[in-house]
Amino acid sequence: MKKHFLPVFLLLLGFTFLFSACGDEAVNPGVPAEPGLVIGSVRDALSNQPLSGVSVAVSRGGTTLATTSTDAQGNFEFSVPGASDYIITFQLATYRVAIYERVLVVSNQTTFLAAVLQISQGISGNGNMAGFIKNALNGQGVSGLSLKIRAGINAGSGAILAQSSTTTNGAYQFNDLPTGHYTIEASGSGFYTLYFTVLSLGGTSINNQNASISPLNDTAKFRIVLSWGSTPSDLDAHLTGPLSSGDRFHAFYSNRSPAGSAVMLDVDDVTSYGPETFTIEDERSGMYRYSVHNYTNRSSSNSNALALSGARVQVYSQGQLMAEFFVPNQSGTLWTVFEIVNGNIVPVNQMSYENTPSDIERSQLQTTDAQWLWNLPKK
């Protein structure tokens, strides 16, 4: 069997926004929730090229609620009422049907999905998959994790097709699985349960389908975990926030824990995949801003490498995964992901260009529209 390394964006597949307080968003029974916007893209699983004309159907409870198709850049978007457990089906002639499960739509929010990697019908047979699962706090492999694998993108239930566990250095492997998308559920004592989507292609061994798992967070106010694919090799997390003096700190690889900030860059990864992790031990009144910088391509003024990186950001707080963000399919070297304003997660999701890491914007971005706030539950 030949070995094959997936395009960098695979690691994102199968995740969508989480918002623990939203539920189905319908405050009054029978009253439809306000709509939310969903944006995503579809690419060929082998070439990473965008696929146009893909039929996209959105359903919930067996009822189709919206349909659209991808444009020339492989992008799509649709609006549906805020609710959980949407299913999105992708169909294109000569390609296998792809189904993205457990999609959460938040009213009056824009949700960016992970890129969907559609598989050509010309690929058949069984394949192998392998990778490593690392501790998000130290970047070390985690052995002894229980692994369960199910068919589908972002699948959280259904038949368990195989089980395994991580070995030395956090390595795992599943062999002889039919061509398709699969979701691995990873769990272990002292860790949040992790779900990540992997790919099997017939006649191929796909390695480095890696993931990061976060230890349970009992004391820190927030933990922010960045992971991505094989390229670019170096993405950097940046966090700015308030100081008691009234000034603002800027934490990144050259100043991992600024004096008086109560934040720490726990892991700085420079060799692909991540994790790169920030911990906020004590939140102050004011605004924190989290960004991801493409250090590898920082001098470029025309780059989509960050958009194709598969970058995913997970935000943990108060013992649970509060939110996940996926890099937009737009050019740029700086992704301003979100802000935390007095305990509320405020999605930003803006792409821009920045060539100097120390100059990444620190001034406060005014966010006044309350509909953009993700309110965290009280302790």
Count of CB atoms situated within 10 Å of the CB of 96: 18
Domain residues for 96?
Answer: 1-214
Q: Find the CATH number of the domain harbouring 98.
A: 2.60.40.10
Which is more confidently placed, 376 or 355? Answer: 355
Binned at pLDDT 50, 70 and 90, residue 266 comes out as very high
Q: Is residue 250 pLDDT above 90, yes or no?
A: yes
Model pTM above 0.85: yes
Which is more confidently placed, 362 or 312? Answer: 312
Burial class (CB in 10 A: 0-12, 13-18, 19+), 124: middle
SS3 of 175, please? strand
Q: Is residue 149 pLDDT above 70, yes or no?
A: yes
Residues facing residue 324 across a β-bridge = 314
How many Å apart are CA 103 and CA 107, to the nearest integer? 13
310 and 182 co-located in one domain:
no
Residue pair 285/274 in contact (Cβ under 8 Å)? The answer is: no
How many Å apart are CA 185 and CA 173, to the nearest integer? 13
The number of residues making up the chain comes to 379
Can you tell me the mean pLDDT for 118-135? Answer: 98
**Confidence at residue 217, expressed as pLDDT on a 0 to 100 scale:** 74
Can you tell me the mean pLDDT for 207-230? Answer: 93
Can you tell me the mean pLDDT for 8-26? Answer: 42
Which is more confidently placed, 113 or 30? Answer: 113
How many Å apart are CA 338 and CA 241, to the nearest integer? 12
164 and 236 co-located in one domain:
no
**Confidence at residue 375, expressed as pLDDT on a 0 to 100 scale:** 39
207 and 349 co-located in one domain:
no
Q: Is residue 84 pLDDT above 50, yes or no?
A: yes
Binned at pLDDT 50, 70 and 90, residue 30 comes out as low
Q: Give the residue among 364, 339, 368, 337 at the shortest CA–CA distance from 350.
A: 337
**Confidence at residue 24, expressed as pLDDT on a 0 to 100 scale:** 47
257 and 344 co-located in one domain:
yes
Kindly give the pairing relationship between strand 146-151 and strand 180-187: antiparallel
Phi/psi zone of residue 351: left (φ > 0), alpha (ψ -120 to 50 degrees), beta? beta
Phi first, then psi: what are they for 11, rounded to 5°?
Answer: -60, -20
* Single residue among 214, 232, 265 that ends a domain in this structure: 214
Residues of the chain above pLDDT 70, percent: 87
Phi first, then psi: what are they for 370, rounded to 5°?
Answer: -65, -20
| CA dist list (Å): 343 to 135, 314, 317, 369, 374 | 26, 16, 10, 15, 9
Residues whose CB is less than 8 angstroms from the CB of residue 370 and which lie 6 or more positions away in sequence, other chains included: none
**Confidence at residue 319, expressed as pLDDT on a 0 to 100 scale:** 81
**Confidence at residue 45, expressed as pLDDT on a 0 to 100 scale:** 97
226 and 355 co-located in one domain:
yes
180 and 207 co-located in one domain:
yes
266 and 340 co-located in one domain:
yes
**Confidence at residue 361, expressed as pLDDT on a 0 to 100 scale:** 65
Phi first, then psi: what are they for 283, rounded to 5°?
Answer: -85, 135
Residue pair 367/374 in contact (Cβ under 8 Å)? The answer is: no
206 and 272 co-located in one domain:
no
* Single residue among 214, 244, 276 that ends a domain in this structure: 214
pLDDT tens across 150-204, in order? 999 999 999 999 999 999 999 999 999 999 999 999 999 999 999 999 999 999 9
272 and 342 co-located in one domain:
yes
Residues whose CB is less than 8 angstroms from the CB of residue 365 and which lie 6 or more positions away in sequence, other chains included: 287, 289, 339, 348
271 and 319 co-located in one domain:
yes
How many Å apart are CA 266 and CA 36, to the nearest integer? 34
Q: Is the peptide bond before 29 cis (omega within 30 degrees of 0)?
A: no
Measured over the CA atoms of residue 49, residue 50, residue 56 and residue 59, the dihedral's sign is positive
Supply 291's token pair: 């960004």
285 and 252 co-located in one domain:
yes
23-44 residues labelled b (16+ CB within 10 A) or e (exposed): eebeeeeeeebebbebbbbbbb
* Single residue among 169, 186, 214 that ends a domain in this structure: 214
Residue pair 128/198 in contact (Cβ under 8 Å)? The answer is: no
The residue to which tokens 């999905």 are assigned:
113
Which is more confidently placed, 319 or 254? Answer: 254
Binned at pLDDT 50, 70 and 90, residue 32 comes out as confident
Q: Is residue 342 pLDDT above 90, yes or no?
A: no
Binned at pLDDT 50, 70 and 90, residue 7 comes out as very low
Can you tell me the mean pLDDT for 78-93? Answer: 97
Question: How many domains does the chain fold into?
Answer: 2
The residue to which tokens 């699962």 are assigned:
133
Q: Find the CATH number of the domain harbouring 338.
A: 2.60.60.30
147 and 160 co-located in one domain:
yes
Supply 30's token pair: 């029978």
Residues facing residue 191 across a β-bridge = 215
How many Å apart are CA 239 and CA 65, to the nearest integer? 39
Q: Give the residue among 350, 242, 345 at the shortest CA–CA distance from 292.
A: 350
